[in-house]
């Protein structure tokens, strides 16, 4: 029985840090749906890298404890190792990796080989790429499938659905849109100020403008 418990604890210590890294690395990012096998393999990959880096500390701990029957006399180094290598390091690596991948996805240039090696080939479609690059905000005009136009500010307080979620959209500030030729243009905000939610299955197209002036002048161009 003790050997079984030890085996389970060792398996958890080997796999769990990689799972934490894998899950934190996709926070706030578009991602394709993953099978259980893909998730396990990705977690094992991250766990392997972590344990390779931590191998000198692992060896020191094993040498100090010696036999497993003596583990209760080495609680302080065991707790320190667990807290640093199995908890703090995976959280820090996962958050840092997620920040790097989000930054890479927001660039106009295609991400490099390192981006793919670190497991980011699960980025979504053109919708995801577009809104990943609009993290500083923008002004948009959305054409619905019934031909109606809605527009406004996509910025702080707005939200967008990313893969694998439906591609819906919430604009924090709704503006009037004039359907002109060759392009529609923003006229001015609704009063009182309000936002609007647009369901994914209602969207036909999205026009993006870096500033309200560009959207207001779109008709003239």
CB atoms within 10 A of CB 54: 17
Residue-level pLDDT, tens digit, the chain, 221 residues: 445 655 666 667 777 888 888 888 887 777 666 677 777 888 888 888 898 988 888 888 777 776 666 666 667 777 888 888 888 999 999 999 888 887 777 776 666 667 666 766 555 678 887 888 887 788 899 999 998 999 998 988 899 988 888 899 999 999 988 887 677 888 888 889 899 999 999 999 999 887 665 655 544 33
Q: What is the pTM of this model?
A: 0.61
Cα–Cα distance measured from residue 85 to residue 6, given in angstroms and rounded to the nearest whole number: 18
Q: Which CATH architecture has domain 126-216?
A: Roll (2.30)
Indicate the domain borders of the chain: 2-117, 126-216
Structure tokens given for 70: 């003596």
């Amino acid at each position: 029985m003790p050997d079984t418990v030890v085996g389970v604890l060792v398996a958890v210590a080997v796999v769990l840090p990689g799972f934490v890294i894998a899950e934190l690395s996709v926070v706030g990012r578009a991602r394709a749906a993953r099978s259980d096998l893909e998730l396990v393999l990705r977690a094992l990959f991250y766990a392997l890298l972590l344990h390779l880096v931590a191998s000198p500390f692992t060896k020191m701990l094993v040498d100090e404890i010696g036999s497993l029957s003596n583990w209760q006399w080495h609680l302080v180094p065991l707790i320190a190792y667990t807290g640093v290598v199995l908890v703090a390091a995976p959280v820090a690596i996962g958050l840092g990796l997620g920040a790097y991948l989000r930054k890479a996805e927001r660039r106009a240039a295609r991400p490099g080989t390192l981006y793919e090696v670190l497991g980011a080939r699960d980025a979504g479609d053109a919708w995801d790429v577009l809104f990943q690059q609009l993290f500083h905000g923008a002004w948009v005009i959305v054409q619905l499938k019934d031909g109606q136009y809605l527009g406004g500010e996509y910025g702080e307080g707005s939200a967008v659905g990313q893969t694998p979620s439906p591609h819906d959209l919430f604009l924090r500030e709704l503006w009037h849109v004039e359907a002109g030729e060759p392009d529609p243009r923003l006229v001015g905000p609704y009063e009182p100020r309000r936002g609007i939610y647009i369901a994914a299955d209602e969207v036909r197209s999205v026009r993006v403008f870096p500033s309200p002036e560009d959207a207001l002048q779109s008709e003239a161009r």
